[in-house]
Amino acid sequence: MDAPTTTPADGGGPGGGSGGGGWFTPTRDTTRRPPETDPRSADPAAAGQARPAPPRPGPQGSGPQGPGPQGSDQRRPGTRSPGSPAAGPQQPGPQQPGPQRRPASGNAPRPSADALIIRRTLAEVEPSADAVTAYFYGLLFSRHPHLRSLFPVAMDAQRDRLFKALVTAATRIDDLPALTEYLSHLGRGHRKYGTQPEHYPAVGECLIGTLMEHATETWSGEAEAAWVRAYTKISQIMIDAAAENERHAPAWWNAEIVSHELRRRDIAVVTVRPDQPYPFRAGQYTTVETPWWPRVWRHYSFSSAPRADGLLTFHIKAVPAGWVSGALVNKARPGDVIRLGPPAGSMTVDHSTDSGLLCLGGGTGIAPIKALVEDVAEHGRQRPVEVFYGARSDQDLYDIDTMLRLQKTHRWLSVRPVVAHGPSTGLTGDLPDAVRKYGPWNAFDAYLSGPPGLIRSGVDTLVGIGIPAHRIRHDSIEELVAAGE
């Protein structure tokens, strides 16, 4: 589908637009720029900044060179190059931990001193986020040009995703379980880009140099030390997750296209055969790279539950300026080979309960909903599944025949098409409004898949009619926005 906690989009990503973006995550196919290098991504001066002076090597025995900030050719006392992997096992955090969290009013923990410093820095640079991230990449590529090959040609979307990933990680610095879950996913996913442990110190060095250049009001030796500690923790979690994943999974899978069916002029159902077993769960998504756009990865949800023959199917919608989606719909043919990243996403069925499933799918967001229906059927549990399939018009209900066939096969399944405009054989109006007319849904777990607007309005509707937030599953809205075109 036009691809993940669970939706992407280059015409088929998670949720009917899938892995979170980070420092080494090449952009999804979301940019409208022509396929040429953005000059701002290669030169800090193009972002309105002075070119940084080349850094001098750090002291002997200190590992990779230090932060080397603009206007300074040596580290401040008491700091070290962040993210430097050591020989043998490494502690995930600094030798000098920040203050322990203390309970504040109620049960909410009080932010640590490091967290408060980091948030003040972010608050200062956030208004100029685009310039800050452009400067960061210019610094990274000028000091470490060999890293440029890890990234796609156009960097617009990458800059946006960098800052969002940075904010996400920094705001979770005191919540180790949430931080570990988020960064472990990034660390595993970054393997397919060729990221190695030795790359992380370079990123940390340039991150510190960028913040020092732009956070002029809040930067200090104390701030630098807090950021070094935070980045050391962040990078080590990602390195450890990648190393653990390498023991049992490849960095990517090659997959041959065995079927390519055009459902509409702009929508294709693509089936592939991976070169080795590909483990996933219904409702999850993956990333796809095509031979036509190397290093550009897009998110797409699986449109079926795992199959005995090992084949995987995706619903792809070509969108304007969508490099990957356009290639998969208009260029791809049986025999072509694409690459798949690892599976991701938590929009999966809890088979330990008999709760009903309330599923809202918009556009190609119906793909993972179909997979969930197949998953329930394969487990043989007689639990009600209610599907609301939203589209702009009847012509956009490209997979309605498949869904109605499933409804005839399974008595516990109900499928209601909802069309926003014009006459329809189903319901007419907005998808959330249609859901309100039925129910009650108190005993149901909810699943939403589609564009960001549908996810937001759907969550508001479901919470408003009494479904607890922890029983509502969907792909990350931030990921959907980052992937939107």
Give the count of beta carbons closer than 10 Å to the beta carbon of residue 469.
9
Q: Which range scores top for mean pLDDT: 26-40, 166-180, 384-398, 462-476?
A: 384-398
Q: Decide which of 388 and 91 is more confident.
A: 388
Q: How far apart are CA 227 and CA 132, in angstroms?
A: 16
Q: Decide which of 281 and 380 is more confident.
A: 281
Give the mean model confidence (pLDDT) for residues 281-302.
Answer: 92
Tell me if 466 sits within 8 A of 440, measured CB to CB.
Answer: yes
Give residue 265's pLDDT: 93
Give residue 172's pLDDT: 86
69-76: long-range pairs with CB below 8 Å, 24+? 69/208, 69/209, 69/212, 69/213, 70/209, 70/212, 70/213, 72/212, 76/221, 76/224
For β-strands 253-264 and 337-340, DSSP reports them as antiparallel
Q: What percent of the chain has pLDDT over 90?
A: 49
Give the mean model confidence (pLDDT) for residues 242-262.
Answer: 94
Give residue 84's pLDDT: 46
Domains and CATH numbers, the chain: 31-86+109-246 (1.10.490.10), 253-340 (2.40.30.10), 356-483 (3.40.50.80)
Q: Is the pTM of this model over 0.75?
A: no
Cα→Cα distances 115→98, 99, 201, 305, 367, Å: 9, 10, 21, 41, 40
Taking only the tens place, the pLDDT of each residue in 31-58 is 323 333 333 333 333 333 333 333 333 3
Is residue 165 very low, low, confident or very high in pLDDT (cuts 50, 70, 90)? confident
pLDDT of 392 above 70: yes
Give residue 439's pLDDT: 82
* Token pair belonging to 136: 């960061």
Give residue 244's pLDDT: 94
Give residue 359's pLDDT: 96
Is residue 12 very low, low, confident or very high in pLDDT (cuts 50, 70, 90)? low
Give residue 130's pLDDT: 83
pLDDT of 142 above 70: yes
Single-letter code of the amino acid located at 209? G
